[in-house]
Structure 1
Amino acid sequence: MLLYMSNSAQETTSTPLHSVSVAGAVVREDGRLLAIRRADNGTWELPGGVLELTEAPEEGVAREVWEETGIRVEVEELTGVYKNTTRGIVALVFRCKPTGGEERISTESTAVEWLTPEEITARMAEVYAIRLLDALDEAGPHVRSHDGRRLVTQR
């Protein structure tokens, strides 16, 4: 905690704490995208997780996709930065190309599927679907905020 004196009184401020996560928007040649159904809450999302302190973002993406899906990827480019304003999580999403492996579930996933953009919109909450849809858009990278459920309009 940082303390400083103002002209009127002593004020207390603290440095905000954020967690950084990484996720892979894995796009197959036929345009389908890799998605998982999470084991902890049953929601459909793109594979990803917390970035380790010692790894580069691209390394973290490749690790998370492999751990959760059994698919090896080549990380191509950053497609979006997404901030959960409620939980203080900043997610970096990278478009990836599958290079090998076979789909399998893990301790973190109960299903692994290749979905169309329409299936993504139907199955995923807005804050996760937009990450995959943004990865298909060449105009990125996109920067968006959300409250954990809905996108927050920028002021």
Structure 2
Amino acid sequence: MGRIDYLHDPEAPAANSVVPSVVAFVQNDAAQVLMIQRSDNGRWALPGGGHDVGESISDTVVREVWEETGVKAEIIDMSGIYTDPGHVMQYDDGEVRQQFSICFRAHPVGGELRTSDETTQVRWVDPTDLAQLDVHPTMRLRIEHAMDRDRPTPYIG
């Protein structure tokens, strides 16, 4: 299913759903960041996805990282909550979702890199190379906030 992201675009369709979701800023011992290339829009992103009924939010993080990357992750803490009503995602099935995403910091505890039906590439990226990837501005914001470990409280916005 394809996806189009709109960010403060007056031509964007009106949202018709809100789905709690997560992304995981997973960093290995070499300080590299786990990144995926999404199969729905081709952009690079942190692994993540929608929260399912019956899961805790921490279970969602671990499941999504595993499903999309083959990496087993352990949560460290939360770096931000993102609910900008000006960011909507339009899907081929007619859903237009308002952003609602919680970003968690995590570290790998096992597994091996692999792709899934949601990813075309999975790789560890040096933070200095992140600027070369096609990353949506809202995802880039999550990455910047997660990298700022001196921030006294999580970002909420």
TM-score range, shorter chain: 0.7 to 0.9
Read off the aligned partner of 2:119 and give its amino acid letter: S
Alignment of 1:53 onto 2:66 = no
How many residue pairs were aligned?
129
Shift of 1:40: 1.1
- Counterpart in 1 of 2:23? 23
1:83 Cα deviation after fit = 1.6
Cα distance per residue 1:73-128 (max 9 Å; x no partner): 11111111112414322100100010000000000000001112232233112211
| 1:58 and 1:75 in contact (8 A); partners too | yes
What residue ranges of structure 2 are gaps of 5+ in the alignment? 1-15, 89-97
Q: Which deviates further from its counterpart, 30-39 or 127-136?
A: 127-136
1:36 maps to which residue?
36
Identical aligned pairs, as a percentage? Answer: 34
Letter in 2 for 1:143: I
Task: Give the TM-score, by structure 2 length.
Answer: 0.77
Name segments (4+ residues, structure 1) moved above 3 Å. none
CA distance in 1, matches of 2:28, 2:143: 12
Q: Unpaired segments of 5 or more residues in structure 1? A: 1-15, 145-155
Cα distance in 2 between the residues matched to 1:129 and 1:113: 16
Once residues 32 and 104 of structure 1 are traced to their aligned partners in structure 2, the CA distance between those partners, rounded to angstroms, is 16
Aligned to 2:155: 142
Larger relative CO (CA 8 A, sep 6+): 1 or 2? 2
Residue 138 of structure 2 is aligned with which of 127, 149, 153? 127
How much has 1:19 moved relative to structure 2?
1.5
Aligned residues: CA RMSD:
1.5
2:27 and 2:105 map into 1 onto residues whose CA distance is 7
Tell me the distance in 2 between the aligned counterparts of 1:84 and 1:66: 27
Helix, strand or coil: the match of 1:105? coil
Q: Match of 1:41, SS?
A: coil
Residues 107-118 of structure 1: pairs in structure 2 closer than 5 A: 107-118=117-128
